[in-house]
Amino acid sequence: GEDVEQSLFLSVREGDSSVINCTYTDSSSTYLYWYKQEPGAGLQLLTYIFSNMDMKQDQRLTVLLNKKDKHLSLRIADTQTGDSAIYFCAESYTNAGKSTFGDGTTLTVKP
């Protein structure tokens, strides 16, 4: 079955880069997503990557996809205190309703 795994915690200093990792097991995944959840709020989409891509960059965010190892990463450059949140990796499939989320990585940014 589908499974998405992430490490639970990451702590970095302000200005450093953060790298959040995710592994998934279902090779039929079509889309892989990164969502951000701030305290007391719902999830908000940060970025997504189609499964036939290797990399996607969007301002401070870089997503890398290694299909062979089923590994997805999110790099946040110049991490700020406002980036402190829980980050969820998720996968879904074209025209299918099921979505699978990881357990979330809590990113703490220290001044």
Partner 1 sequence: EAQVTQNPRYLITVTGKKLTVTCSQNMNHEYMSWYRQDPGLGLRQIYYSMNVEVTDKGDVPEGYKVSRKEKRNFPLILESPSPNQTSLYFCASSRLAGVGGEQFFGPGTRLTVL
Place of tokens 């990451």: 10
45 binds partner 1 (CB under 8 A): yes
Taking CB under 8 A as the criterion, the residue among 63, 70, 88, 109 binding partner 1 is: 88
Q: What is the CA radius of gyration of the chain?
A: 13
The answer to whether residues 72 and 65 touch, using CB atoms and an 8 Å cutoff, is yes
Place of tokens 């809590």: 106
Type and span of the H or E element at 110? strand 105-110
Number of residues that bind partner 1 (CB under 8 A): 28
100 binds partner 1 (CB under 8 A): yes
For partner 1, what does the binding mask look like between residues 5 and 44, x meaning CB under 8 A?
A: ---x---------------------xx---x----xxxxx
DSSP letter for 28, please.
Answer: T
87 binds partner 1 (CB under 8 A): no
Least Cβ distance, residue 16 to partner 1 (angstroms)? 25
Task: Return d(Cα 64, Cα 49) in angstroms, integer.
Answer: 9
The answer to whether residues 10 and 61 touch, using CB atoms and an 8 Å cutoff, is no
Nearer to partner 1, 14 or 103 (CB): 103
The contact set with partner 1 (CB under 8 A) reads: 4, 8, 30-31, 35, 40-45, 48, 50, 88, 90, 92-104
